[in-house]
């Protein structure tokens, strides 16, 4: 039996996923084919992410409408998978149900496992999760979803949440989604956890090889935990962004995070920023990888070798474009980049069997700097012995690890085939 926090997390995750999988199915040969292709792309995206598996039964209907049942399984590899059933009722156009002009409207019923469904029926006070889709002629569709506000108590913990809602718009290979959730509270045994308002926005465009451009933004309000009135931690607000960009040859992916404040007991960090980018990934190799069924019983691991070789040959890069704490004169910042560099005649198939030789082709550059006072204050917050911080920084300067430039401390680190250099000096 799952604990209350785990069950709450699963239900919240399921609610957010439903907006993406509650897609319509209609009679009409061409429209039906368009939407089934969209369902196929949604299935692939979910299963590639590892979040869930998705199975849709054949559409059953006639000229007036019909039904289709889709099963969504969260944590499919766990001992206790979490299964949700979506039953879509289709009403064909041109004025389905006497409402908006379109090919069809779809009302989707959402059913959870029996024990969870019973809890939700009580929590929602008779309200239901709603998914309403308008399918336009040509296959485009707009889905609106709403998860009612509710409350339930289990194992001494009471979870109370406000209604979440959003839309998913599919236009051919383009999909965009937005939503908002005013947050929740979890209370029990003298403890209280609150999550502030959250919003999200996502866009994506699929390409013929399955690798398209995409972008997503998630804003989460402050997350705070208290026990018997004492604050244990406070985190946020948080903004997370991700993007996938591609051209004819390469694909790059980046993730950006911003945390306004992170406070733990007596330590507080302000204005945390992180941006990480993985770039120069061979597009053809990634497309081939996406088509492999790694879970198949007859899967041949050797099939990965030419894909890995192609990725390495493309000279992929990993960069920390920005890691910083603080703002203005209080900011301490780090940037770094790692890349594989090799001549045109390198035998990559041989190198893959020799990790040490492969690592010898790796180059790393890192740069960090900040006001001396800001670095000392940050180190004092993080180091266990605050009184020793000044001595540690002074020793680092004497050893050449840190260089003082005016009021700032700076360090540059370089790793390549010749060894390690710190501020231009070889380290033996």
CA distances from 371 to 196, 383, 404, 410 (A): 34, 18, 9, 9
| pLDDT score of 24 more than 50 | no
CA distances from 284 to 35, 49, 204 (A): 27, 20, 19
| pLDDT score of 16 more than 50 | no
Q: Coil, helix or strand for 190?
A: coil
Torsion of CA 261, 406, 338, 416, to 10 degrees: -150
- For residue 76, what is the DSSP state? T
Structure tokens of 317?
A: 């890069």
- For residue 356, what is the DSSP state? H
Residue-wise DSSP of 361-404: TEEEEEEEEEEHHHHHHHHHHHSS-GGGHHHHHHHHHHTTSSEE
HEC profile of 52-71: EEEEECCCEECCCEEEEEEE
pLDDT band for 59, please (50, 70, 90 cuts): confident
User: Can you tell me the distance from the alpha carbon of 155 to that of 138, in angstroms, rounded to the nearest whole number?
Assistant: 50
pLDDT given at position 409: 93
pLDDT digits (tens, 9 = 90+) for 264-303: 877 888 999 999 999 999 999 888 887 777 767 777 888 8
HEC profile of 109-172: EEECCHHHHHHHHHHCCCCCCEEEEEECCCCCEEEEEEECCEEEEECCEEEEECCEEEEEEEEC
Q: Which helix (H) or strand (E) holds 212?
A: none
Supply the pTM of this predicted model.
0.76
What mean pLDDT comes out for the span 121-134?
81
What mean pLDDT comes out for the span 22-32?
42
Q: Among 215, 284, 219, 276, which residue's Cα sits nearest to residue 249?
A: 284
**Exposure pattern of 291-321 as b/e (b: 16+ CB <10 Å)?**
eeeeeeeeeeeeeeeebebbbbbbbbbbbee
Structure tokens of 355?
A: 């990790």
Angle at the Cα of 237 from the Cα atoms of 233 and 242, rounded to 5 degrees = 120
pLDDT digits (tens, 9 = 90+) for 326-363: 988 889 999 999 998 776 677 777 777 777 777 788 89
131 with 18: CB under 8 angstroms? Answer: yes
Kindly report which listed range (174-183, 208-217, 235-244, 348-357) carries the lowest average pLDDT score: 348-357
56 with 205: CB under 8 angstroms? Answer: no
| pLDDT score of 30 more than 70 | no
The terminus-to-terminus CA distance of the chain in angstroms comes to: 56
pLDDT given at position 273: 95
pLDDT band for 416, please (50, 70, 90 cuts): confident
Structure tokens of 309?
A: 């070789």
| pLDDT score of 99 more than 80 | no
- For residue 326, what is the DSSP state? S
pLDDT digits (tens, 9 = 90+) for 239-261: 999 998 888 899 999 999 999 99
User: Can you tell me the distance from the alpha carbon of 253 to that of 275, in angstroms, rounded to the nearest whole number?
Assistant: 11
């Amino acid at each position: 039996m799952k604990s209350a926090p785990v069950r709450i997390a699963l239900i919240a995750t399921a609610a957010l996923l439903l907006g993406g999988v509650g897609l319509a199915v209609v009679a009409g040969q061409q429209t039906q084919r368009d939407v089934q292709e969209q369902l196929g792309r949604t299935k692939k995206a979910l299963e590639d992410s590892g979040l869930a598996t998705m199975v849709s039964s054949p559409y059953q209907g006639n000229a007036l409408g019909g039904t289709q049942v889709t099963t969504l399984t969260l944590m499919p590899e766990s001992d206790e998978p979490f299964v949700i059933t979506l039953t879509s009722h289709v009403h064909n156009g041109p004025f389905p149900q006497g409402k908006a002009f379109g090919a069809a409207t779809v009302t989707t019923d959402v059913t959870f496992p029996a024990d969870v469904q019973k809890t939700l029926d009580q929590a929602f006070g008779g309200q239901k999760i709603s998914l309403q889709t308008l399918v336009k002629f040509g296959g485009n569709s707009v889905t609106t979803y709403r998860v009612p506000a509710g409350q339930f108590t289990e194992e001494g913990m009471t979870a109370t949440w406000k209604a979440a809602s959003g839309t998913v718009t599919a236009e051919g290979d383009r999909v965009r989604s937005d939503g908002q959730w005013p947050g929740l509270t979890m209370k029990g045994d003298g403890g209280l956890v609150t999550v502030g308002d959250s919003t999200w926005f996502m866009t994506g465009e699929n390409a013929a090889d399955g690798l398209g451009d995409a972008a997503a933004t998630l804003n989460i309000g402050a997350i705070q935990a208290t026990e018997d009135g004492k604050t244990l931690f406070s985190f946020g607000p948080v903004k997370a962004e991700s993007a996938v960009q591609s051209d004819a040859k390469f694909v790059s992916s980046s993730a950006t995070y911003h945390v306004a404040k992170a406070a733990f007991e007596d330590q507080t960090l302000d204005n945390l920023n992180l941006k990480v980018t993985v770039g120069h990934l061979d597009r053809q190799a990634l497309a081939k990888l996406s088509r492999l069924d790694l879970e198949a019983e007859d899967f041949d691991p050797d099939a990965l070798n030419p894909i890995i070789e192609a990725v390495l040959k493309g000279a992929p890069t990993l960069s920390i474009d920005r890691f910083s704490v603080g703002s203005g004169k209080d900011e301490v910042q780090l940037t770094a980049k790692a890349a594989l560099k090799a001549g045109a005649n390198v035998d990559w198939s041989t190198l893959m069997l020799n990790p040490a030789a492969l690592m010898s082709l790796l180059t790393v550059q890192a740069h960090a700097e900040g006001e001396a006072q800001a670095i000392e204050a940050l180190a004092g917050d993080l180091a266990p012995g605050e009184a020793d911080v000044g001595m540690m920084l002074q020793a680092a300067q004497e050893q050449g690890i840190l260089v003082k430039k005016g009021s700032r401390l700076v360090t540059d680190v370089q790793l390549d085939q010749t060894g390690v250099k710190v501020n231009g000096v070889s380290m033996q």
